[in-house]
Structure 1
């Protein structure tokens, strides 16, 4: 046993909380809602569609599980595969009941299959509430769809298969039946079906009529209006001694910026630790070698916990980048799996997905060399990964999940239930590109807004000014890194990957800055869960620096968009200080002070002005401008406070005219805004001239 193995085992013994999924049984979780032909399958290969399977919860690698159809629509011949974690493809519309035979008994699961539909049509959204009286609980679902066909929507209600309650045709439940917690689901159905919403009915003598209502899919309140700050963990601290302690030494910078959430890219023992050259992606850490030990060069587990505590002292939450789609090829499990002479070969040979089983050629995505995909169809793998999750969850405030689309949806449903049942404040953020709204509704609280990001890049490409050399830093990445999106001199396959990752704005006309409003509207068109939050970012560790690509003015406007549109803004370390390449060391002592001050101003304004926060409405307004690089829109909070936001992505100044009276002071900088003539713009009473951004309070909302 190596010292690293010894440390890992010692760390694993420090898990202090007991977690369980659902009721602790093997029951496979809540009802599932799909479209006919939509598969519960988990294929090999480069398909970026999210994967899914039906699986026992709280799995044991040494247990026996089997599945069969107990009830199905009359014309169905669909059958689950003969595997403990099964694949199943509903073949006709209707309701299926599948039975899981497990060591602790037989468990039934409802699968509702809706008719095939045109995927180009907008998906509806549904929000579930209830009114409780002494006699009954009346479910109240609000269903909407962006094409305005709300009246054509129907709502279906389902009780969790693990619970005992009866829903009548009019959507009521006798209050007397709620002697144990009962979870109810609602699905809106039109041309397509919605992501489900849920309501937990909890017996509580102190509540109205003895029943408390809980919204299990809501995000923790602490993240709703947060500022997220991502650091490339091994590049952020001083490079003379880059450790958890020297990261903690720099927390004053985060505090002054108004950061609420610190996202740490992977800090575990990994193949790509310190010393990894930039042509291999730099020290990114996305190829894990030990799931229970921090990189010893960064420090010990106790050092990490001290960093988290130091963050908490500043009211900064910490999010851990969880990488459980794949491991490093130097992970001990993989080394055993590929070596038939290894003493643990039989134990681990089925822990990975194989492109060629006989040759032990691993399944990977898009030529991502050296990071073999784990086999989530193996109960032993799931059991182990839940142990990893149980170990880290008490030590941090949330997980950002790398390549979440490569892990079956049902596993994330179990993870959400497991963690939020133990701690309702625990936070989950998925990386799914292109984003998939099915990651919401009981799986993740927040999604990467790839549509807005790609729209901002598309605008910057034509509106912004390239750096003097006209170069980018795309060559900093290499196919060996986990999340490569583009690479100079890439192969055809790798170019295809870049296309896959960067086509999220393909359906949006990005020829004008107004496209950012279309990007936000796309969330509703896709049918995102009403409680889902969206992470809005200009750049991250997988992209080139916006400043280098498109220039200073465009970068400032793009950042202002992420701070003033409804969503949660994220800043990637160095974005606010003038870094020019994606993974270079932080430029301590050499900040672009003007840019840094600008980001502090954006953060201060959003934190103190409710009209710019997540729940405030976004409204298109009529405006006039001589350039496609400018856009204007309104935000308004629930108290009627209203602001006009004007953004300009181009060089120099832009004049924008609109028909609302506004104050003289730009809320971003505190300076007096330059007024412009409106004589040539019929019906538009106000004109302003801006460099990159102005946020102006409306003085008469009825004007």
Structure 2
């Protein structure tokens, strides 16, 4: 039976960067309330809200110190309650980030755990003794260095942190942790949120700490996902958690973040009668080709999308999830560089348009990152410290690049540069929590321009709302490498989507193309008998309606 979220169009709001109503440089909840009509007019019907909880902001809100309150920089509880109310009055839905793998080290649980080794909260976290003054094992943190940090109170134990050292991991083996986290989630479900985006849920189970990563050539502390990602116990913990929440609200939407999940794991996590996730976000739909740059390590080099593998990945995901769930369709989010900086041509507006048409008219749930609909690219940040990344600071010391060149190169690829504030008017942003070069991209200008990227997104999402593109089946077509094409089918309706995702003209053989009517396009194209000629970054969407 179809659920409301199977026809969701999700708009991701990064609160600190969306809309600032009190001119302190930080976006706030009131700003989101003010712009709900804008989001609805775009064609989105669901908002995903990044963390707004009380936090020291070591990792921009993903280090939570109080799950039951709103960070004062963004507002107060009454603002969130009003936001939920207004979203529902506009017949929309709201889902919130639920940070379940770790807390802040300033959370009362952790503070009690380090003050008193016999505290019940000690076992809320993961501790292990070292060996001969060495850490318990050589597993690497996603933020660099070891996953192990010394007990601040100098016991002989270390605590585990998969991310920043100020974000200790929770011990989900402990039934009290499971109960406490479920109670927190229930609190927000009872507040009226329609769903939870489960942050880093694939990491809530870890292997025994005695094991070492024996890979050679990966540094002193190699990333060791076999030991702390997608382990079998994740399903057990998740089933218990989700089943309790769905007793409170059977229609609650569970959107899982499984960054490293294979297609097979996407399927496993998405089987609905197993009380796991309804939909899952995986970063593995993208296959990047690193474009090597002098003095830059691979992680800070620009990338090019391997279109052949991308099309294979999309076909594989579509095929494997058919009859089970829906793919989550996205180009950007807060954890990666914006799509125009990664794969697009920021000098050609049709690049943003063609990427959108090609991705979002597939079978699946569109997930649009704030500002993407304007053609926002990564901003150039003003100082290495703005990236909040020790690896950037260290790299700056090592390179001989001048400051301006270094900042431009890092900004092009870094996730922090993808979090720059949204510009609503033609005036430059006067004050911002994130310092950088203001982008000459704003809502006011694009609303006036008939052929703007914003207005293309609005048209595209109207097309997406048709049953053909919401509920129809899909077959990915064989096309030239730079063209992404597929057919959609629903009852007697048939559609074809062709998107040129490159800078060169492409020819696509399509039988009986003259029988189709064009319902959406961008860029230059020519329809010949049996052939479509697509100019650089051009897209065309055809629809054929059979006789009733």
Aligned partner (choices 161, 184, 188) of residue 388 of structure 1? 184
Q: What does residue 128 of structure 1 align with?
A: none
| TM-score where L is the length of structure 2 | 0.69
Q: What does residue 499 of structure 2 align with?
A: 647
Seen in structure 2, the aligned counterparts of structure 1 residues 373 and 529 have a Cα distance that, compared at 3 Å, is farther
In the aligned structure 2, how far is the partner of 1:588 from the partner of 1:394? 33
Q: What does residue 667 of structure 1 align with?
A: 519
In the aligned structure 1, how far is the partner of 2:128 from the partner of 2:169? 10
Residue 432 (structure 1) shift: 0.9
Q: What does residue 114 of structure 2 align with?
A: 338
Q: What does residue 226 of structure 1 align with?
A: 8
Higher mean C-alpha displacement, 442-451 vs 287-296: 442-451
Q: What does residue 244 of structure 1 align with?
A: 29
Please give the secondary structure, in 2, of the residue aligned with 1:235: helix
Seen in structure 2, the aligned counterparts of structure 1 residues 370 and 413 have a Cα distance that, compared at 3 Å, is same
Residue 585, structure 1, aligned to residue 370, structure 2: no
Written as runs of structure 1 = structure 2, the 5 A alignment for 1:56-71 is none
Q: What does residue 271 of structure 1 align with?
A: 56
Written as runs of structure 1 = structure 2, the 5 A alignment for 1:435-454 is 435=261, 436=265, 437-441=267-271, 442-452=275-285, 454=286
Written as runs of structure 1 = structure 2, the 5 A alignment for 1:50-89 is none
In the aligned structure 2, how far is the partner of 1:699 from the partner of 1:632? 19
Residue 318, structure 1, aligned to residue 175, structure 2: no
Aligned partner (choices 530, 541, 548) of residue 695 of structure 1? 541
Seen in structure 2, the aligned counterparts of structure 1 residues 669 and 632 have a Cα distance that, compared at 3 Å, is closer
In the aligned structure 2, how far is the partner of 1:670 from the partner of 1:574? 19
Residue 377 (structure 1) shift: 1.1
Please give the secondary structure, in 1, of the residue aligned with 2:156: coil
Give per-residue Cα distances to partners, 1:374-414, cap 9 Å, x unaligned.
Answer: 11111221121121111111220000000010123212101
Aligned partner (choices 452, 456, 475) of residue 619 of structure 1? 475
Residue 656, structure 1, aligned to residue 492, structure 2: no
Contact kept? 1:238, 1:586, Cα under 8 Å: no
Residue 580 (structure 1) shift: 2.3
Please give the secondary structure, in 2, of the residue aligned with 1:522: helix
Q: What does residue 43 of structure 2 align with?
A: 258
In the aligned structure 2, how far is the partner of 1:546 from the partner of 1:671? 19
Give per-residue Cα distances to partners, 1:261-317, cap 9 Å, x unaligned.
Answer: 100001100110xxxxxxx65xx2000000111112222212101011111122220
Residue 373, structure 1, aligned to residue 169, structure 2: yes
Give per-residue Cα distances to partners, 1:217-273, cap 9 Å, x unaligned.
Answer: x6x62111221010111111126153212210011210110111100001100110x
Please give the secondary structure, in 1, of the residue aligned with 2:468: helix
Seen in structure 2, the aligned counterparts of structure 1 residues 669 and 560 have a Cα distance that, compared at 3 Å, is closer
In the aligned structure 2, how far is the partner of 1:579 from the partner of 1:671? 19
Seen in structure 2, the aligned counterparts of structure 1 residues 635 and 657 have a Cα distance that, compared at 3 Å, is same
In the aligned structure 1, how far is the partner of 2:186 from the partner of 2:247? 12
Give per-residue Cα distances to partners, 1:413-456, cap 9 Å, x unaligned.
Answer: 0122112233221100111122223222220100014333x14x
Seen in structure 2, the aligned counterparts of structure 1 residues 692 and 362 have a Cα distance that, compared at 3 Å, is farther
In the aligned structure 2, how far is the partner of 1:430 from the partner of 1:667? 33
In the aligned structure 2, how far is the partner of 1:321 from the partner of 1:548? 25
Residue 604, structure 1, aligned to residue 397, structure 2: no
Written as runs of structure 1 = structure 2, the 5 A alignment for 1:274-285 is 284-285=60-61
Pairs aligned (count): 417
Seen in structure 2, the aligned counterparts of structure 1 residues 662 and 319 have a Cα distance that, compared at 3 Å, is farther
Q: What does residue 66 of structure 2 align with?
A: 290
Seen in structure 2, the aligned counterparts of structure 1 residues 660 and 611 have a Cα distance that, compared at 3 Å, is farther
Contact kept? 2:197, 2:256, Cα under 8 Å: yes
Contact kept? 2:522, 2:538, Cα under 8 Å: no
Seen in structure 2, the aligned counterparts of structure 1 residues 528 and 368 have a Cα distance that, compared at 3 Å, is farther
Q: Which runs of 5+ in 2 are unaligned?
A: 131-154, 205-233, 379-417, 426-441, 447-451
Written as runs of structure 1 = structure 2, the 5 A alignment for 1:487-498 is none
Seen in structure 2, the aligned counterparts of structure 1 residues 360 and 293 have a Cα distance that, compared at 3 Å, is farther
In the aligned structure 1, how far is the partner of 2:245 from the partner of 2:341? 40
Seen in structure 2, the aligned counterparts of structure 1 residues 530 and 356 have a Cα distance that, compared at 3 Å, is farther
In the aligned structure 2, how far is the partner of 1:430 from the partner of 1:301? 25
In the aligned structure 2, how far is the partner of 1:268 from the partner of 1:409? 26
Please give the secondary structure, in 1, of the residue aligned with 2:15: coil
Residue 426, structure 1, aligned to residue 252, structure 2: yes
In the aligned structure 2, how far is the partner of 1:687 from the partner of 1:438? 39
Contact kept? 2:68, 2:184, Cα under 8 Å: yes
In the aligned structure 2, how far is the partner of 1:641 from the partner of 1:664? 11
Contact kept? 2:182, 2:245, Cα under 8 Å: no
Please give the secondary structure, in 2, of the residue aligned with 1:291: strand
In the aligned structure 1, how far is the partner of 2:459 from the partner of 2:40? 13
In the aligned structure 2, how far is the partner of 1:672 from the partner of 1:698? 21
Q: What does residue 317 of structure 2 align with?
A: 523
Written as runs of structure 1 = structure 2, the 5 A alignment for 1:557-576 is 557-576=354-373
Q: What does residue 429 of structure 2 align with?
A: none
Residue 340 (structure 1) shift: 3.3
Give per-residue Cα distances to partners, 1:26-69, cap 9 Å, x unaligned.
Answer: xxxxxxxxxxxxxxxxxxxxxxxxxxxxxxxxxxxxxxxxxxxx
Contact kept? 2:522, 2:540, Cα under 8 Å: no
Please give the secondary structure, in 2, of the residue aligned with 1:319: strand
Structure with the bigger percentage of strand: 1
Residue 347 (structure 1) shift: 2.2
Seen in structure 2, the aligned counterparts of structure 1 residues 355 and 523 have a Cα distance that, compared at 3 Å, is farther
Q: What does residue 356 of structure 1 align with?
A: 129
Contact kept? 2:358, 2:485, Cα under 8 Å: no
In the aligned structure 1, how far is the partner of 2:502 from the partner of 2:69? 47
Residue 545 (structure 1) shift: 1.2
| TM-score where L is the length of structure 1 | 0.55
Contact kept? 1:664, 1:672, Cα under 8 Å: no
Seen in structure 2, the aligned counterparts of structure 1 residues 290 and 360 have a Cα distance that, compared at 3 Å, is farther
Aligned partner (choices 483, 487, 493) of residue 634 of structure 1? 487
Structure with the bigger percentage of helix: 2
In the aligned structure 2, how far is the partner of 1:666 from the partner of 1:388? 49
